[in-house]
Amino acid sequence: MFRTKTVEQSIRDTEEPEHALRKSLSALDLTVFGVGVIIGTGIFVLTGKIAKETAGPAVALAFVVAGLVCALAALCYAEFASTVPVAGSAYTFSYASLGELPAWIIGWDLILELALGCAVVAVGWSGYLRSLMDSAGLHLPDALSGTHEGDFGFDLLACLLVLLLTAILVAGMKLSSRVTAVVVAVKITVVLLVIIVGAFFITGSNYKPFIPPSQSTDAASGITAPLIQLMFGWAPTNFGVMGIFTAAAVVFFAFIGFDIVATAAEETRNPQRDVPRGILGSLFICTLLYVAVSVVVTGMQHYTELSTDAPLADAFKAVGHPFWAGLISFGAAVGLTTVCLILLMGQTRVFFAMSRDGLLPQTFSKVHPKFGTPYRSTILLGVVVAVVAGFTSIDELAELVNIGTLFAFVVVAIGVVILRKQRPDLPRSFRTPLVPLVPALSVLASLWLMLNLPAETWLRFGVWMVLGVVIYFVYGRGHSRLGKQLPPRPAEED
């Protein structure tokens, strides 16, 4: 169960003709992927919501804290991705350091994280598009607009979006990167316009007090309460200095996605150099944009008056500029397409890597003879996610995505330390600084944020993990290519 797959074997597997992905990506492509998946609804919605309810204007500091937590994890991902430039991200890294069962568990976790993330974002995109269509006088029947109060419906737009993105992914990573680059350019332009135009409407008095006085929160109870509250009786507070850290635990989730860059390592022309640049570059750019947007929006409107649904758009309406409000809504709708595309891409690469190792049926690791993409796994997962998106409403699913990501961060940080001790001879073009301090801080920071999630989320996550372990023992362990390559155990003497 804890047999490890050597880095050399992982790299040799990428050279098998029928399992070889086409190398076509550059550092710029990877940075665009990273920015494309990180900049989503978080920058358009989360900034105002957290400023009003948790941190006030100091939400900018919360983004800095969350960015630092992600930077710790990013440094660990960068070392692994440059040392083991193989599809699969945290799954592949775990296989090389912790063993087969831990690798399966993290792969199973990533499948859940990325599938649900893609489905939830597709539903959010559908909502934006329906709003724009309604403004233009176009209306979809209720039965095709998703679930409604007391009714059962199918979200046609969300389903069609996922199917379209699946076709783009099958056609090749370079096409995917070009589509992403165009959409990300539109999205970043909208965000920069918000920052530049909004700066002219900032009122200094709106920043007072920058750190509002501390307030106790309405404590949740039972399994809906944060796990740390049930364990230690400590309830998070809003506002004040501690409110900044409480807010950081929430806005952290606006950064989810930079780890997706690592899943494309195998399709990168120079992964040892370009993957660390893509991971750290996209995280740095997005942190700057988040901080700038939060400073602008809390300067345009006092934090107590911000909207929690569409704070940026409503802030421009409040200062008498509805045109900019409409532009922001358009930017959000356009931007979410890249989030869906990259989440789906990441999921298919993890599934592909697990299939190539025999832990899932190997037929899904065949690559297209013309496009050089894992088309079978892409089509399978695209159809599944499209159906899920069609019947999904956005509730607790987002929290499952969050706990899955944090769990992956913990595993990767531990894996860096283990691989340093097991294989100090490996060439590492990027080295995580201050090992084991940085990985230890990454583990502690990720665990802290996990403890701030509801116990209900932990329970659902546990059920999914148990299901994964059962599938491993029923199928994966017996079909593992690594297991078949090992010599049989000698029979015990009577």
Residues 281-324 pLDDT 10s: 999 999 999 999 999 989 999 998 887 666 777 788 888 887 88
Give the DSSP letter string of 153-221. Answer: --BHHHHHHHHHHHHHHHT-HHHHHHHHHHHHHHHHHHHHHHHHHHHTT--GGGGSSSSPPPEE-----
**pLDDT tens digits for 182-204?**
888 888 888 898 899 989 989 99
**At residue 487, does pLDDT exceed 70?**
no
Residue 443 is predicted with a pLDDT of: 95
C-alpha distances out from residue 303 to 149, 293, 341, Å: 31, 13, 34
Percent of the chain surpassing pLDDT 90: 18
**At residue 53, does pLDDT exceed 50?**
yes
**At residue 494, does pLDDT exceed 50?**
no
CA separation for the pair 241, 245 (Å, rounded): 7
Task: Establish whether the linkage from the previous residue to 488 is cis, with ω within 30° of 0.
Answer: no
> In the predicted model, what is the mean pLDDT of residues 65-82?
88
Residue with more model confidence, 145 or 74: 74
Residue with more model confidence, 62 or 391: 62
**At residue 343, does pLDDT exceed 90?**
no
Give the DSSP letter string of 203-258. Answer: -GGGGSSSSPPPEE-----GGGSBHHHHHH----EESHHHHHHHHHHHHGGGGTTT
> In the predicted model, what is the mean pLDDT of residues 384-404?
74
**Ramachandran area for residue 431 (φ above 0: left; ψ -120 to 50: alpha; else beta):** beta
- CB neighbours (10 Å) of residue 58? 26
Tokens of 199: 């700066």
Residue 41 is predicted with a pLDDT of: 63
**At residue 492, does pLDDT exceed 60?**
no
Burial of 142 from C-beta contacts in 10 A (0-12 / 13-18 / 19+):
exposed
Lowest mean pLDDT among 132-141, 333-342, 363-372: 132-141
Which residues make Cβ contacts (< 8 Å) with residue 200, sequence separation at least 6?
A: none
Residue 151's pLDDT band (cuts 50, 70, 90)? low
Which residues make Cβ contacts (< 8 Å) with residue 131, sequence separation at least 6?
A: 329
**At residue 57, does pLDDT exceed 90?**
yes
Average pLDDT, the chain: 83
- CB neighbours (10 Å) of residue 320? 7
CA separation for the pair 264, 271 (Å, rounded): 9
C-alpha distances out from residue 237 to 208, 219, 246, Å: 20, 9, 7
**At residue 148, does pLDDT exceed 60?**
no
Residue with more model confidence, 332 or 97: 97
Give the DSSP letter string of 306-364. Answer: --SSSHHHHHHHHTT-HHHHHHHHHHHHHHHHHHHHHHHHHHHHHHHHHHHTTSS-GGG
Residue 389 is predicted with a pLDDT of: 84
Lowest mean pLDDT among 68-72, 139-143, 368-372: 139-143
Residue 166 is predicted with a pLDDT of: 92
Residue 372 is predicted with a pLDDT of: 79
Residue 440 is predicted with a pLDDT of: 96
Beta bridge partners of residue 237, listed in sequence order: 216
**pLDDT tens digits for 352-373?**
889 988 898 988 888 888 877 8
Residue with more model confidence, 399 or 347: 347
> In the predicted model, what is the mean pLDDT of residues 453-481?
89
CA separation for the pair 211, 447 (Å, rounded): 26
Asked if residue 201 lies in contact with residue 295, where contact means CB atoms within 8 angstroms, the answer is no
Residue with more model confidence, 384 or 225: 384
C-alpha distances out from residue 321 to 128, 129, 198, 289, Å: 20, 21, 10, 22
Phi and psi at residue 238, to the nearest 5°: -100, 145
**pLDDT tens digits for 419-457?**
899 888 888 888 999 989 999 999 999 898 888 788 888
